[in-house]
Structure 1
Protein backbone atom coordinates (compact mmCIF):
# COMPACT_ATOMS: atom_id res chain seq x y z
CA UNK A 1 0.00 0.00 0.00
CA UNK A 2 1.40 3.38 -1.01
CA UNK A 3 1.14 6.08 1.68
CA UNK A 4 1.23 9.86 1.25
CA UNK A 5 1.70 11.67 4.57
CA UNK A 6 0.74 15.32 4.07
CA UNK A 7 2.06 18.18 6.17
CA UNK A 8 -1.31 19.97 6.11
CA UNK A 9 -4.85 19.92 4.70
CA UNK A 10 -3.78 22.51 2.11
CA UNK A 11 -1.75 19.75 0.40
CA UNK A 12 -4.81 17.50 -0.05
CA UNK A 13 -5.90 18.73 -3.50
CA UNK A 14 -2.39 18.26 -4.89
CA UNK A 15 -2.21 14.73 -3.44
CA UNK A 16 -5.50 13.80 -5.14
CA UNK A 17 -4.18 15.14 -8.44
CA UNK A 18 -1.04 13.06 -7.96
CA UNK A 19 -3.14 9.91 -7.53
CA UNK A 20 -5.29 10.77 -10.54
CA UNK A 21 -2.22 11.53 -12.67
CA UNK A 22 -0.71 8.13 -11.85
CA UNK A 23 -3.82 5.93 -11.89
CA UNK A 24 -6.69 7.91 -13.40
CA UNK A 25 -6.31 6.80 -17.02
CA UNK A 26 -4.81 4.08 -19.18
CA UNK A 27 -3.89 3.99 -22.84
CA UNK A 28 -4.80 1.29 -25.35
CA UNK A 29 -3.98 0.86 -29.02
CA UNK A 30 -6.91 0.89 -31.44
CA UNK A 31 -7.11 -1.30 -34.54
CA UNK A 32 -6.20 1.62 -36.77
CA UNK A 33 -3.02 2.27 -34.84
CA UNK A 34 -4.22 5.22 -32.77
CA UNK A 35 -3.68 5.46 -29.01
CA UNK A 36 -6.88 5.89 -27.00
CA UNK A 37 -6.99 7.11 -23.41
CA UNK A 38 -9.60 5.45 -21.17
CA UNK A 39 -10.60 6.70 -17.72
CA UNK A 40 -10.09 4.50 -14.66
CA UNK A 41 -12.53 4.56 -11.77
CA UNK A 42 -10.98 5.77 -8.51
CA UNK A 43 -12.91 5.23 -5.28
CA UNK A 44 -12.26 7.05 -2.01
CA UNK A 45 -12.94 6.29 1.65
CA UNK A 46 -12.35 8.54 4.68
CA UNK A 47 -11.21 7.39 8.13
CA UNK A 48 -11.22 9.64 11.18
CA UNK A 49 -8.09 7.90 12.50
CA UNK A 50 -5.33 7.05 10.04
CA UNK A 51 -4.43 3.93 12.06
CA UNK A 52 -7.82 2.29 11.40
CA UNK A 53 -7.87 -0.62 8.97
CA UNK A 54 -10.20 -1.07 6.02
CA UNK A 55 -12.76 -3.20 7.84
CA UNK A 56 -16.33 -4.01 6.91
CA UNK A 57 -19.09 -3.95 9.51
CA UNK A 58 -19.22 -7.75 9.19
CA UNK A 59 -15.55 -7.96 10.20
CA UNK A 60 -16.18 -5.65 13.14
CA UNK A 61 -19.16 -7.78 14.26
CA UNK A 62 -17.79 -11.32 14.08
CA UNK A 63 -14.54 -13.20 13.56
CA UNK A 64 -16.40 -16.06 11.85
CA UNK A 65 -15.50 -16.68 8.22
CA UNK A 66 -18.55 -16.33 5.95
CA UNK A 67 -18.93 -17.71 2.46
CA UNK A 68 -21.13 -15.76 0.08
CA UNK A 69 -23.79 -18.47 0.43
CA UNK A 70 -23.66 -18.45 4.23
CA UNK A 71 -23.91 -14.67 4.44
CA UNK A 72 -26.84 -14.54 2.01
CA UNK A 73 -28.62 -17.16 4.09
CA UNK A 74 -28.39 -14.77 7.08
CA UNK A 75 -29.53 -11.82 4.97
CA UNK A 76 -32.42 -13.82 3.50
CA UNK A 77 -33.56 -14.91 6.98
CA UNK A 78 -34.54 -11.34 7.95
CA UNK A 79 -36.22 -10.22 4.72
CA UNK A 80 -39.79 -11.17 5.80
CA UNK A 81 -39.63 -9.00 8.93
CA UNK A 82 -38.19 -6.10 6.95
CA UNK A 83 -40.85 -6.37 4.26
CA UNK A 84 -43.59 -6.55 6.90
CA UNK A 85 -42.36 -3.36 8.56
CA UNK A 86 -41.53 -1.31 5.44
CA UNK A 87 -44.07 -2.62 2.93
CA UNK A 88 -41.26 -3.01 0.36
CA UNK A 89 -41.13 -6.28 -1.57
CA UNK A 90 -37.49 -7.09 -2.34
CA UNK A 91 -38.54 -9.95 -4.61
CA UNK A 92 -35.75 -12.19 -3.38
CA UNK A 93 -35.98 -15.72 -4.78
CA UNK A 94 -36.13 -18.63 -2.32
CA UNK A 95 -32.78 -19.32 -0.71
CA UNK A 96 -32.17 -22.61 -2.61
CA UNK A 97 -32.52 -20.62 -5.86
CA UNK A 98 -30.04 -18.05 -4.56
CA UNK A 99 -27.51 -20.79 -3.83
CA UNK A 100 -28.09 -22.37 -7.24
CA UNK A 101 -27.56 -18.99 -8.95
CA UNK A 102 -24.27 -18.52 -7.09
CA UNK A 103 -22.98 -22.01 -7.80
CA UNK A 104 -24.00 -21.84 -11.45
CA UNK A 105 -22.16 -18.58 -12.16
CA UNK A 106 -19.14 -18.44 -9.87
CA UNK A 107 -15.86 -20.32 -10.01
CA UNK A 108 -12.31 -19.61 -8.85
CA UNK A 109 -12.06 -16.64 -11.23
CA UNK A 110 -15.60 -15.25 -10.98
CA UNK A 111 -17.42 -13.94 -7.91
CA UNK A 112 -21.22 -13.64 -7.92
CA UNK A 113 -23.22 -11.84 -5.22
CA UNK A 114 -27.01 -11.87 -5.90
CA UNK A 115 -29.40 -9.38 -4.33
CA UNK A 116 -26.95 -6.47 -4.47
CA UNK A 117 -29.58 -3.74 -3.99
CA UNK A 118 -30.98 -5.53 -0.94
CA UNK A 119 -27.51 -5.93 0.52
CA UNK A 120 -26.85 -2.20 0.04
CA UNK A 121 -30.13 -1.46 1.84
CA UNK A 122 -29.06 -3.66 4.75
CA UNK A 123 -25.64 -1.99 4.83
CA UNK A 124 -27.15 1.51 4.99
CA UNK A 125 -29.43 0.56 7.87
CA UNK A 126 -26.84 -1.09 10.11
CA UNK A 127 -27.03 -4.83 9.30
CA UNK A 128 -23.50 -6.33 9.49
CA UNK A 129 -22.25 -6.28 5.93
CA UNK A 130 -19.31 -7.54 3.84
CA UNK A 131 -19.74 -4.46 1.63
CA UNK A 132 -17.15 -1.75 2.21
CA UNK A 133 -18.59 1.63 1.27
CA UNK A 134 -16.63 4.13 -0.85
CA UNK A 135 -17.36 7.35 -2.71
CA UNK A 136 -16.30 8.63 -6.11
CA UNK A 137 -15.56 12.03 -4.52
CA UNK A 138 -12.33 12.55 -2.53
CA UNK A 139 -13.93 15.54 -0.81
CA UNK A 140 -16.95 13.54 0.37
CA UNK A 141 -14.44 11.02 1.77
CA UNK A 142 -12.54 13.84 3.48
CA UNK A 143 -15.76 15.11 5.08
CA UNK A 144 -16.50 11.65 6.52
CA UNK A 145 -12.93 11.55 7.88
CA UNK A 146 -13.32 14.90 9.65
CA UNK A 147 -17.00 15.40 10.55
CA UNK A 148 -16.63 14.02 14.10
CA UNK A 149 -14.27 15.34 16.74
CA UNK A 150 -11.80 12.63 17.66
CA UNK A 151 -8.65 12.41 19.77
CA UNK A 152 -6.37 11.17 17.00
CA UNK A 153 -3.30 12.74 15.46
CA UNK A 154 -4.07 12.15 11.79
CA UNK A 155 -7.06 11.35 9.58
CA UNK A 156 -6.81 9.73 6.17
CA UNK A 157 -8.49 9.15 2.84
CA UNK A 158 -7.92 5.87 1.00
CA UNK A 159 -7.97 5.74 -2.79
CA UNK A 160 -8.77 2.41 -4.49
CA UNK A 161 -8.14 1.60 -8.15
CA UNK A 162 -9.26 -1.89 -9.10
CA UNK A 163 -7.85 -2.17 -12.63
CA UNK A 164 -5.32 0.58 -13.45
CA UNK A 165 -4.26 -1.36 -16.55
CA UNK A 166 -7.75 -2.45 -17.55
CA UNK A 167 -7.71 -6.10 -16.52
CA UNK A 168 -7.29 -8.52 -13.62
CA UNK A 169 -5.63 -11.89 -13.19
CA UNK A 170 -5.16 -14.21 -10.24
CA UNK A 171 -4.35 -17.78 -9.34
CA UNK A 172 -6.85 -20.14 -7.78
CA UNK A 173 -6.91 -19.42 -4.07
CA UNK A 174 -5.75 -15.80 -4.40
CA UNK A 175 -7.74 -13.10 -2.65
CA UNK A 176 -9.09 -10.18 -4.63
CA UNK A 177 -11.14 -6.99 -4.25
CA UNK A 178 -14.17 -6.40 -6.46
CA UNK A 179 -16.01 -3.12 -7.03
CA UNK A 180 -19.74 -3.84 -7.33
CA UNK A 181 -20.89 -0.63 -9.00
CA UNK A 182 -23.05 2.38 -8.21
CA UNK A 183 -26.07 1.96 -10.51
CA UNK A 184 -28.76 0.67 -8.18
CA UNK A 185 -32.12 1.84 -6.85
CA UNK A 186 -31.75 2.56 -3.15
CA UNK A 187 -31.74 5.36 -0.56
CA UNK A 188 -31.20 8.90 -1.89
CA UNK A 189 -28.03 9.30 0.17
CA UNK A 190 -26.41 6.64 -2.04
CA UNK A 191 -26.44 9.28 -4.78
CA UNK A 192 -25.72 12.36 -2.67
CA UNK A 193 -22.64 10.56 -1.33
CA UNK A 194 -21.64 9.24 -4.81
CA UNK A 195 -21.44 5.82 -3.19
CA UNK A 196 -19.90 2.62 -4.42
CA UNK A 197 -19.11 -0.65 -2.66
CA UNK A 198 -16.43 -3.31 -2.73
CA UNK A 199 -16.07 -6.84 -1.42
CA UNK A 200 -12.90 -8.83 -0.79
CA UNK A 201 -13.04 -12.60 -1.26
CA UNK A 202 -10.85 -15.68 -1.49
CA UNK A 203 -11.78 -18.88 -3.34
CA UNK A 204 -11.64 -22.07 -1.27
CA UNK A 205 -10.84 -24.82 -3.77
CA UNK A 206 -11.83 -27.62 -1.38
CA UNK A 207 -15.27 -26.23 -0.55
CA UNK A 208 -15.74 -24.58 -3.98
CA UNK A 209 -16.88 -21.32 -2.42
CA UNK A 210 -15.77 -17.71 -2.17
CA UNK A 211 -15.24 -16.52 1.41
CA UNK A 212 -15.26 -12.89 2.50
CA UNK A 213 -11.87 -11.74 3.81
CA UNK A 214 -10.16 -8.49 4.80
CA UNK A 215 -9.39 -5.97 2.08
CA UNK A 216 -5.86 -5.93 3.46
CA UNK A 217 -5.44 -9.60 2.49
CA UNK A 218 -5.88 -9.11 -1.26
CA UNK A 219 -3.05 -10.95 -3.03
CA UNK A 220 -0.36 -9.26 -5.14
CA UNK A 221 -1.10 -9.57 -8.87
CA UNK A 222 0.46 -12.21 -11.09
CA UNK A 223 0.85 -9.86 -14.03
CA UNK A 224 0.45 -6.09 -14.17
CA UNK A 225 -1.11 -3.85 -11.56
CA UNK A 226 -4.47 -4.31 -9.82
CA UNK A 227 -6.28 -3.70 -6.53
CA UNK A 228 -4.15 -0.61 -5.87
CA UNK A 229 -4.75 1.19 -2.55
CA UNK A 230 -3.21 4.56 -1.78
CA UNK A 231 -3.47 6.00 1.74
CA UNK A 232 -3.39 9.80 2.08
CA UNK A 233 -2.99 11.03 5.68
CA UNK A 234 -3.27 14.58 6.99
CA UNK A 235 -3.20 16.19 10.46
CA UNK A 236 -6.48 16.48 12.33
CA UNK A 237 -5.37 19.86 13.70
CA UNK A 238 -6.55 21.22 10.32
CA UNK A 239 -10.07 19.84 10.85
CA UNK A 240 -11.93 23.17 11.14
CA UNK A 241 -10.06 24.69 8.20
CA UNK A 242 -10.96 21.67 6.07
CA UNK A 243 -14.62 21.55 7.17
CA UNK A 244 -15.05 25.25 6.39
CA UNK A 245 -13.71 24.64 2.89
CA UNK A 246 -15.93 21.59 2.43
CA UNK A 247 -18.96 23.57 3.65
CA UNK A 248 -18.16 26.16 0.97
CA UNK A 249 -18.42 23.23 -1.48
CA UNK A 250 -21.86 22.50 0.08
CA UNK A 251 -20.59 19.28 1.65
CA UNK A 252 -22.11 18.90 5.10
CA UNK A 253 -24.25 16.47 7.10
CA UNK A 254 -27.49 17.66 5.54
CA UNK A 255 -26.44 17.50 1.89
CA UNK A 256 -24.83 14.08 2.36
CA UNK A 257 -27.33 12.35 4.69
CA UNK A 258 -30.57 14.07 3.54
CA UNK A 259 -32.50 13.93 6.80
CA UNK A 260 -33.95 16.31 9.38
CA UNK A 261 -31.48 15.09 12.00
CA UNK A 262 -28.61 15.72 9.58
CA UNK A 263 -29.87 19.26 8.93
CA UNK A 264 -29.83 20.04 12.66
CA UNK A 265 -26.35 18.52 13.04
CA UNK A 266 -25.01 20.60 10.16
CA UNK A 267 -26.54 23.78 11.61
CA UNK A 268 -25.08 22.93 15.03
CA UNK A 269 -21.63 22.45 13.50
CA UNK A 270 -21.85 25.83 11.80
CA UNK A 271 -23.07 27.55 14.97
CA UNK A 272 -20.54 26.10 17.43
CA UNK A 273 -17.51 25.09 15.34
CA UNK A 274 -17.27 26.62 11.87
CA UNK A 275 -18.54 30.13 12.68
CA UNK A 276 -16.62 30.57 15.93
Structure 2
Protein backbone atom coordinates (compact mmCIF):
# COMPACT_ATOMS: atom_id res chain seq x y z
CA UNK A 1 0.00 0.00 0.00
CA UNK A 2 1.42 3.36 -1.07
CA UNK A 3 2.31 5.74 1.80
CA UNK A 4 1.40 2.98 4.27
CA UNK A 5 3.47 4.35 7.18
CA UNK A 6 1.93 7.81 6.88
CA UNK A 7 -1.58 6.35 6.85
CA UNK A 8 -0.83 4.12 9.83
CA UNK A 9 0.68 6.91 11.92
CA UNK A 10 -2.31 9.10 11.13
CA UNK A 11 -4.70 6.29 12.12
CA UNK A 12 -2.74 5.59 15.31
CA UNK A 13 -3.06 9.22 16.43
CA UNK A 14 -6.74 9.45 15.46
CA UNK A 15 -7.66 6.16 17.18
CA UNK A 16 -5.69 7.02 20.31
CA UNK A 17 -7.06 10.56 20.66
CA UNK A 18 -10.50 9.74 19.20
CA UNK A 19 -10.60 13.19 17.65
CA UNK A 20 -9.46 14.14 14.14
CA UNK A 21 -8.70 17.73 15.15
CA UNK A 22 -6.49 16.66 18.08
CA UNK A 23 -4.73 14.19 15.78
CA UNK A 24 -4.19 16.95 13.21
CA UNK A 25 -2.62 19.19 15.87
CA UNK A 26 -0.27 16.40 16.98
CA UNK A 27 0.76 15.57 13.41
CA UNK A 28 0.98 19.24 12.32
CA UNK A 29 -1.52 18.77 9.48
CA UNK A 30 -5.06 19.99 8.88
CA UNK A 31 -8.17 18.26 10.20
CA UNK A 32 -9.36 17.73 6.63
CA UNK A 33 -6.08 15.93 5.81
CA UNK A 34 -6.66 13.49 8.68
CA UNK A 35 -10.26 12.94 7.61
CA UNK A 36 -9.18 12.31 4.01
CA UNK A 37 -6.49 9.83 5.04
CA UNK A 38 -8.91 7.91 7.28
CA UNK A 39 -11.47 7.64 4.47
CA UNK A 40 -8.79 6.49 2.03
CA UNK A 41 -7.32 3.98 4.49
CA UNK A 42 -10.78 2.56 5.18
CA UNK A 43 -11.43 2.27 1.44
CA UNK A 44 -8.18 0.42 0.83
CA UNK A 45 -8.67 -1.93 3.77
CA UNK A 46 -12.21 -2.74 2.73
CA UNK A 47 -13.86 -2.08 6.10
CA UNK A 48 -14.97 0.90 8.18
CA UNK A 49 -12.61 2.11 10.90
CA UNK A 50 -14.79 4.71 12.63
CA UNK A 51 -18.44 5.40 13.30
CA UNK A 52 -19.60 8.95 13.96
CA UNK A 53 -22.81 9.75 15.82
CA UNK A 54 -23.31 13.50 16.00
CA UNK A 55 -20.08 14.85 17.48
CA UNK A 56 -19.08 11.48 18.95
CA UNK A 57 -16.40 9.42 17.21
CA UNK A 58 -15.93 5.74 18.00
CA UNK A 59 -14.02 2.83 16.54
CA UNK A 60 -15.81 -0.04 14.86
CA UNK A 61 -15.09 -3.58 16.09
CA UNK A 62 -12.60 -4.10 13.25
CA UNK A 63 -11.27 -0.59 13.85
CA UNK A 64 -10.46 -1.50 17.48
CA UNK A 65 -8.63 -4.64 16.39
CA UNK A 66 -6.74 -2.74 13.70
CA UNK A 67 -5.83 -0.01 16.23
CA UNK A 68 -4.20 -2.59 18.53
CA UNK A 69 -2.34 -4.12 15.60
CA UNK A 70 -1.20 -0.71 14.33
CA UNK A 71 0.02 0.42 17.75
CA UNK A 72 2.14 -2.73 18.23
CA UNK A 73 3.48 -2.54 14.69
CA UNK A 74 4.54 1.10 14.96
CA UNK A 75 6.12 0.54 18.38
CA UNK A 76 8.14 -2.40 17.03
CA UNK A 77 9.09 -0.36 13.96
CA UNK A 78 10.25 2.61 16.06
CA UNK A 79 12.29 0.36 18.36
CA UNK A 80 13.89 -1.40 15.41
CA UNK A 81 14.71 1.84 13.64
CA UNK A 82 16.21 3.35 16.77
CA UNK A 83 18.56 0.38 16.99
CA UNK A 84 19.54 0.63 13.34
CA UNK A 85 20.05 4.37 13.55
CA UNK A 86 21.85 4.53 16.90
CA UNK A 87 25.25 5.12 15.31
CA UNK A 88 23.84 7.68 12.90
CA UNK A 89 22.08 9.59 15.67
CA UNK A 90 25.39 10.09 17.45
CA UNK A 91 26.04 12.64 14.70
CA UNK A 92 22.62 14.26 15.08
CA UNK A 93 21.11 16.63 17.61
CA UNK A 94 17.53 15.63 18.42
CA UNK A 95 15.24 18.52 19.35
CA UNK A 96 11.71 17.83 20.58
CA UNK A 97 9.42 20.86 20.36
CA UNK A 98 5.76 21.51 21.10
CA UNK A 99 4.08 21.17 17.65
CA UNK A 100 2.42 24.60 17.61
CA UNK A 101 5.56 26.35 18.86
CA UNK A 102 7.66 24.44 16.32
CA UNK A 103 5.41 25.40 13.43
CA UNK A 104 4.84 29.06 14.29
CA UNK A 105 8.05 30.12 16.09
CA UNK A 106 10.94 27.65 15.71
CA UNK A 107 10.70 26.74 12.00
CA UNK A 108 11.20 30.35 10.83
CA UNK A 109 14.48 30.30 12.82
CA UNK A 110 15.56 26.77 11.93
CA UNK A 111 18.24 27.79 9.40
CA UNK A 112 20.05 29.86 12.01
CA UNK A 113 19.68 27.11 14.61
CA UNK A 114 21.13 24.53 12.20
CA UNK A 115 24.06 26.84 11.53
CA UNK A 116 24.93 26.82 15.23
CA UNK A 117 24.90 23.00 15.32
CA UNK A 118 27.36 22.24 12.50
CA UNK A 119 28.76 19.69 11.80
CA UNK A 120 25.89 17.90 13.58
CA UNK A 121 22.60 17.37 11.79
CA UNK A 122 19.45 18.71 13.49
CA UNK A 123 16.48 16.36 13.80
CA UNK A 124 13.30 18.19 14.85
CA UNK A 125 10.38 16.21 16.27
CA UNK A 126 6.98 17.24 17.62
CA UNK A 127 5.61 13.82 18.57
CA UNK A 128 6.84 10.77 20.40
CA UNK A 129 8.66 10.65 23.72
CA UNK A 130 10.51 13.88 24.61
CA UNK A 131 12.78 11.98 27.00
CA UNK A 132 14.68 10.59 23.98
CA UNK A 133 15.66 14.09 22.80
CA UNK A 134 18.82 16.07 23.53
CA UNK A 135 16.86 19.25 24.09
CA UNK A 136 13.13 19.83 24.64
CA UNK A 137 11.16 23.03 24.05
CA UNK A 138 7.63 23.15 25.39
CA UNK A 139 5.42 23.81 28.38
CA UNK A 140 6.05 20.76 30.59
CA UNK A 141 9.05 19.66 32.62
CA UNK A 142 10.80 16.42 31.64
CA UNK A 143 12.04 14.16 34.43
CA UNK A 144 15.82 14.04 34.63
CA UNK A 145 16.34 17.10 32.41
CA UNK A 146 17.91 20.44 33.35
CA UNK A 147 15.36 23.23 32.92
CA UNK A 148 15.29 26.94 32.11
CA UNK A 149 12.00 28.82 32.22
CA UNK A 150 11.04 31.75 30.00
CA UNK A 151 8.12 33.64 31.53
CA UNK A 152 8.23 36.97 29.64
CA UNK A 153 5.83 35.86 26.90
CA UNK A 154 2.33 37.31 26.99
CA UNK A 155 -1.00 37.14 25.20
CA UNK A 156 -2.14 39.99 22.97
CA UNK A 157 -4.96 40.81 20.57
CA UNK A 158 -4.09 40.20 16.92
CA UNK A 159 -6.09 41.01 13.81
CA UNK A 160 -5.73 41.49 10.06
CA UNK A 161 -4.89 44.92 8.60
CA UNK A 162 -7.91 44.32 6.36
CA UNK A 163 -10.37 45.12 9.15
CA UNK A 164 -8.92 48.60 9.71
CA UNK A 165 -10.75 51.53 8.18
CA UNK A 166 -8.93 54.16 6.14
CA UNK A 167 -6.48 56.22 8.19
CA UNK A 168 -6.31 53.78 11.13
CA UNK A 169 -3.22 51.82 12.13
CA UNK A 170 -4.59 50.16 15.27
CA UNK A 171 -7.98 49.22 16.69
CA UNK A 172 -9.11 50.94 19.86
CA UNK A 173 -10.26 48.83 22.84
CA UNK A 174 -13.87 49.67 22.01
CA UNK A 175 -13.37 48.55 18.41
CA UNK A 176 -11.72 45.31 19.53
CA UNK A 177 -14.68 44.48 21.75
CA UNK A 178 -17.10 45.11 18.89
CA UNK A 179 -15.31 42.70 16.53
CA UNK A 180 -15.96 38.96 16.25
CA UNK A 181 -14.00 37.15 18.98
CA UNK A 182 -11.89 34.35 17.49
CA UNK A 183 -11.43 31.85 20.29
CA UNK A 184 -9.71 28.52 20.81
CA UNK A 185 -12.53 26.06 21.32
CA UNK A 186 -10.67 23.77 23.72
CA UNK A 187 -9.65 24.78 27.28
CA UNK A 188 -6.26 23.06 26.99
CA UNK A 189 -5.39 25.06 23.85
CA UNK A 190 -6.62 28.32 25.33
CA UNK A 191 -4.57 27.74 28.48
CA UNK A 192 -1.30 27.20 26.57
CA UNK A 193 -1.63 29.40 23.49
CA UNK A 194 -4.20 32.09 24.29
CA UNK A 195 -6.37 33.63 26.97
CA UNK A 196 -10.01 34.33 27.76
CA UNK A 197 -11.36 37.76 26.83
CA UNK A 198 -12.72 38.05 30.37
CA UNK A 199 -9.12 37.76 31.65
CA UNK A 200 -8.28 41.01 29.87
CA UNK A 201 -11.28 42.63 31.51
CA UNK A 202 -10.09 41.45 34.92
CA UNK A 203 -6.78 43.27 34.43
CA UNK A 204 -8.77 46.44 33.73
CA UNK A 205 -11.01 45.97 36.76
CA UNK A 206 -14.01 45.52 34.48
CA UNK A 207 -16.23 42.72 33.26
CA UNK A 208 -15.23 43.00 29.59
CA UNK A 209 -16.45 40.51 27.03
CA UNK A 210 -16.75 40.58 23.27
CA UNK A 211 -19.84 42.46 22.14
CA UNK A 212 -19.59 40.90 18.69
CA UNK A 213 -20.03 37.35 17.51
CA UNK A 214 -17.91 34.46 18.80
CA UNK A 215 -16.08 32.14 16.39
CA UNK A 216 -14.46 29.10 18.03
CA UNK A 217 -11.79 26.97 16.37
CA UNK A 218 -10.40 23.58 17.36
CA UNK A 219 -6.77 24.34 16.54
CA UNK A 220 -4.34 27.23 16.89
CA UNK A 221 -3.56 27.15 13.16
CA UNK A 222 -7.24 27.61 12.26
CA UNK A 223 -7.64 30.46 14.76
CA UNK A 224 -4.58 32.22 13.31
CA UNK A 225 -5.80 31.76 9.74
CA UNK A 226 -9.23 33.09 10.69
CA UNK A 227 -7.56 36.23 12.07
CA UNK A 228 -5.31 36.55 9.00
CA UNK A 229 -8.37 36.41 6.74
CA UNK A 230 -10.04 39.24 8.65
CA UNK A 231 -12.75 37.21 10.38
CA UNK A 232 -12.23 38.93 13.72
CA UNK A 233 -9.80 39.45 16.61
CA UNK A 234 -7.88 36.66 18.38
CA UNK A 235 -6.21 36.76 21.80
CA UNK A 236 -3.04 34.66 21.45
CA UNK A 237 0.54 34.31 22.70
CA UNK A 238 2.91 36.78 21.07
CA UNK A 239 5.41 34.04 20.18
CA UNK A 240 2.71 32.01 18.40
CA UNK A 241 1.57 34.99 16.31
CA UNK A 242 5.10 36.32 15.74
CA UNK A 243 5.66 34.93 12.22
CA UNK A 244 2.35 36.33 10.93
CA UNK A 245 3.02 39.69 12.60
CA UNK A 246 6.51 39.97 11.08
CA UNK A 247 5.09 39.12 7.65
CA UNK A 248 2.45 41.84 7.98
CA UNK A 249 -0.43 39.37 7.91
CA UNK A 250 -1.45 40.34 11.44
CA UNK A 251 -1.25 43.43 13.63
CA UNK A 252 -0.61 43.17 17.38
CA UNK A 253 -2.63 45.49 19.58
CA UNK A 254 -0.60 47.91 21.69
CA UNK A 255 -2.97 47.46 24.63
CA UNK A 256 -4.66 44.56 26.35
CA UNK A 257 -1.51 42.52 26.96
CA UNK A 258 -1.82 39.70 29.47
CA UNK A 259 1.56 38.79 31.03
CA UNK A 260 0.40 35.58 32.75
CA UNK A 261 0.90 33.09 29.91
CA UNK A 262 2.35 29.75 31.11
CA UNK A 263 6.16 29.83 30.91
CA UNK A 264 8.03 28.18 28.07
CA UNK A 265 10.49 25.55 29.27
CA UNK A 266 13.78 24.71 27.56
CA UNK A 267 15.13 21.41 28.93
CA UNK A 268 18.48 19.67 28.37
CA UNK A 269 18.93 15.90 28.64
CA UNK A 270 21.57 15.25 31.29
CA UNK A 271 22.63 12.11 29.36
CA UNK A 272 23.17 13.87 26.02
CA UNK A 273 26.48 13.44 24.21
CA UNK A 274 26.30 17.10 23.17
CA UNK A 275 25.84 18.86 26.50
CA UNK A 276 27.99 21.92 25.74
CA UNK A 277 26.22 22.47 22.42
CA UNK A 278 22.82 22.06 24.09
CA UNK A 279 23.79 24.64 26.68
CA UNK A 280 24.80 27.04 23.91
CA UNK A 281 21.51 26.39 22.09
CA UNK A 282 19.56 26.90 25.30
CA UNK A 283 21.13 30.35 25.70
CA UNK A 284 20.46 31.14 22.04
CA UNK A 285 16.82 30.02 22.24
CA UNK A 286 16.21 32.09 25.37
CA UNK A 287 17.87 35.10 23.68
CA UNK A 288 15.63 34.63 20.62
CA UNK A 289 12.54 34.46 22.83
CA UNK A 290 13.64 37.58 24.68
CA UNK A 291 14.24 39.36 21.37
CA UNK A 292 10.77 38.40 20.14
CA UNK A 293 9.13 39.93 23.18
CA UNK A 294 11.46 42.95 23.34
CA UNK A 295 10.82 43.86 19.69
CA UNK A 296 7.11 43.48 20.28
CA UNK A 297 7.17 46.00 23.12
CA UNK A 298 8.60 48.57 20.71
CA UNK A 299 5.71 48.19 18.25
TM-score between the two structures when normalised by the length of structure 2: 0.21
Name the structure, 1 or 2, with higher relative contact order (CA <8 Å, separation 6+): 1
TM-score between the two structures when normalised by the length of structure 1: 0.22
Higher Rg = 2
**Structure (1/2) with the larger helix percentage:** 2
